[in-house]
Structure 1
């Protein structure tokens, strides 16, 4: 059952490339606007580069959250997931993994190319990539909880942003702080370790919280 859900999510993403590519396109556009808006001063671009890329990643992730459960609710597939013999938390984790593979992973891989426009060196680009590989699945896991809570509500998209953005603040701080610490010569290990610890906690607790929120939303 879990494998079938995973294959179904990947197949739906393949059949709807517009929905899949929208967060990546948005990420590239928003990240490209920062150098145009602040000017071509190299020192300024290097200082704001990590934060600008991470802000673009947060907003792009937020853009893809409403479609995580909405289509399944409209088609009736979500009720079938609740009635399936497999634990709902595992099915939720599979859906979040599929979403990350189709939207979060391409975003993380594209980030170093985008960051070249800010003048970051190759060492900083590696730290940025490592932080996004840890941070983007964490963003998806946290966002899944809010997406489940706001499922089916009128104005749920705006409410989703209000709920999830405060949860994204620590990820943004430690993610961008890792690159800044590496650039200053302090090492990025502490920030990346905190991101890894938060991801480990989210992998354990976020699917169960999301499953509980889905049951509440569908009652």
Structure 2
């Protein structure tokens, strides 16, 4: 598993399709928002939680179509499917690699992005916490969507249509935690709901994704 993780991380860095791409998109989006809605700090502070979470969601979506497609095209996926390592574990490792190269940089960069949008200082910690808890769910949900579309040519658009509705609960609860944190309200309920979604996706979706891959490889 460690070798597979290291392999996927190395490929992400060398190919340039995952590492840095999401972070660059996140930065561009956050930079453009003030030009579109105006530079007023009060207005930006109100929309900042939602903008940051939508940006993180779209950034995670960018490299999902490469999650299994390259291995499928060169035959590596067939070898992984017949390897001693369960296919469910392969899916989990690939989702983890996607989170390390895409989600983790977003978590680290969140305070700087919040500063650009005049995010309330009281919400900075909650922004980092919700991204750290929620972005793994985005990667595992994305892995499930990528497994469903792995055998389809030009399945990127279909992947987006499948995955985006599943992202909505994580988006809602993540943005709500940040809003409540900025207003000094209790964040326990939406934070627990978001954590529950993440744990459920980690526990269940590798099995669903593995089943989809088996169908695609027949």
- Partner residue in 2 for 1:149: 148
Distance 1:19 1:119 in 2: 28
Matches within 5 A, 1:29-44: 29-44=28-43
Distance 1:13 1:161 in 2: 20
Tell me how far 1:66 sits from its aligned partner: 0.5
**What are structure 1's unaligned runs of at least 5 residues?**
none
> Secondary structure of 1:154's partner?
coil
Tell me how far 1:170 sits from its aligned partner: 0.5
Task: Work out whether residues 180 and 187 of structure 2, in 8 Å CA contact, stay in contact via their aligned partners in 1.
Answer: yes
- Partner residue in 2 for 1:139: 138
Tell me how far 1:164 sits from its aligned partner: 0.6
- Partner residue in 1 for 2:92: 93
Supply the RMSD in Å over aligned alpha carbons. Answer: 1.2
- Partner residue in 2 for 1:218: 217
Tell me how far 1:154 sits from its aligned partner: 2.8
Question: Is 1:75 aligned to residue 71 of structure 2?
Answer: no
**What are structure 2's unaligned runs of at least 5 residues?**
none
Count of residue pairs brought into register by the alignment: 218
CA offset digits 1:19-53 (Å, max 9, x no partner): 42111111110121111210012221111000001
Task: Work out whether residues 134 and 194 of structure 2, in 8 Å CA contact, stay in contact via their aligned partners in 1.
Answer: yes
CA offset digits 1:101-145 (Å, max 9, x no partner): 111100121122111112123320110010001111100101111
> Secondary structure of 1:20's partner?
coil
- Structure 1 residues 143 and 71: alpha-carbon distance in aligned structure 2, compared to 1, 3 A threshold: same
Task: Work out whether residues 141 and 166 of structure 2, in 8 Å CA contact, stay in contact via their aligned partners in 1.
Answer: yes
Task: Work out whether residues 121 and 182 of structure 2, in 8 Å CA contact, stay in contact via their aligned partners in 1.
Answer: no
Distance 2:195 2:38 in 1: 34
Distance 2:150 2:54 in 1: 25
Task: Work out whether residues 177 and 191 of structure 2, in 8 Å CA contact, stay in contact via their aligned partners in 1.
Answer: yes
> Secondary structure of 1:31's partner?
helix
Distance 1:19 1:49 in 2: 25
Question: Is 1:120 aligned to residue 122 of structure 2?
Answer: no
Distance 1:20 1:100 in 2: 10
